[in-house]
Amino acid sequence: MTEMIYSIKAEFVKFKGMFIRYYIDSISEIVSYGLLMFGLILTVFQNLTGTNEQIFQLMVGIFIWYIGINAIAVFSFILQEEMVLGTLEQIAITKVPIEKMLLGRAIGTFIFDSLGAIVLSTISFSFVAIFRDLSLETFFSLNLSIPSLIIVILLTMVSIYGFSFILAGFSLVFKRIGAITTLLNYLFLFLIGLVMASNQLPPTIDLVTKLLPMTLGVINLKQVIIDSTTLVELVSTYEFWLLILNSGLYFFIGLSLFKLLFNISIKNGKLSSY
């Protein structure tokens, strides 16, 4: 546990330094996603007639999508960085399990990604306000359960990190999977229910999307925000238990597969190649 805390602190300090040194690049990334959201709002959401709760759910969905697309590839990026620096083999022979190191660094990254996601959601809110008469006071008056909201977001992140372990394992074998993560970013944007409702998708595709890491999180978010579901009511719904099952399976399968592929890479002497 101590090693993970050290990893979180180190990654936080590292990202803080990188943001200060390369702030133009960091800001440009958020602005580029902001322009993407502006295009979607201009075309897809221009005639948005939903309630304030539905609009708030959209903002939270954008928040989860942004931190999700960064979290999905975080383990692969960390491993790739260590391969380039030539330190991955040294990390592999330390007493600290590599998965603990990865999780610690991922949590440190999550803090900075959350700040960026808040900025992106705020920018998106400003764009929506162009077409709707909205104010922040309206959202503060919404009747929603904060504990339920936090629990759903955390459970969704568990499934995302599980999926990230799967990609990290593949990155040890195939080395470069950047194009796959980019594809997944936009696939999740359109299929998890953020842009299109599930009833707009063909039944087969809708069934597949339910198996994705973020989809059940978005479904539970809709219950918490739109239906004002309390924590007691939430735990009595089958969607919530499906989210727990989905998150648990993704994390277990992802971690197991990563350990397997990591050990195979060690035996084959492929950790130093990239």
What is the predicted pLDDT for the residue at 54?
63
- Rounded Cα gap, residues 63 and 250, in angstroms: 21
Q: How many Cβ atoms sit within 10 Å of the Cβ of residue 66?
A: 25
Are the CB atoms for 59 and 226 separated by under 8 Å? no
Position 48 pLDDT exceeds 60: no
Confidence of residue 171 (pLDDT cuts 50, 70, 90): confident
Pull the structure tokens for residue 150.
Answer: 């936090």
- Rounded Cα gap, residues 262 and 210, in angstroms: 29
The residue type at 19 = F
**What are the boundaries of each domain within the chain?**
2-268
- Rounded Cα gap, residues 9 and 179, in angstroms: 30
Q: Which helix (H) or strand (E) holds 83?
A: helix 74-85
The residue type at 226 = I
pTM score: 0.79
- Rounded Cα gap, residues 122 and 147, in angstroms: 22
76 vs 242, more confident: 242
**What sign results for the dihedral spanned by CA atoms 100, 184, 124, 154?**
negative
Position 129 pLDDT exceeds 90: no
Are the CB atoms for 145 and 230 separated by under 8 Å? yes
Mean pLDDT of 198-208: 67
46 vs 108, more confident: 108
Percent of the chain scoring above 90 in pLDDT: 6
Q: State the first-to-last Cα distance of the chain, in angstroms, to the nearest integer.
A: 30
Are the CB atoms for 179 and 197 separated by under 8 Å? no
Long-range contact set of residues 180-186: C-beta below 8 Å, sequence gap at least 24 = 181/69, 181/72, 181/73, 181/76, 184/69, 184/72, 185/69, 185/72
- Backbone conformation region of residue 198, classed left if phi is above 0, alpha if psi is from -120 to 50, else beta: alpha
Report DSSP letters for 125-172, one per residue: HHHHHHHS---HHHHHT----HHHHHHHHHHHHHHHHHHHHHHHHHHH
Are the CB atoms for 144 and 228 separated by under 8 Å? yes
CA atoms lying within 13 Å on the CB side of residue 172: 25
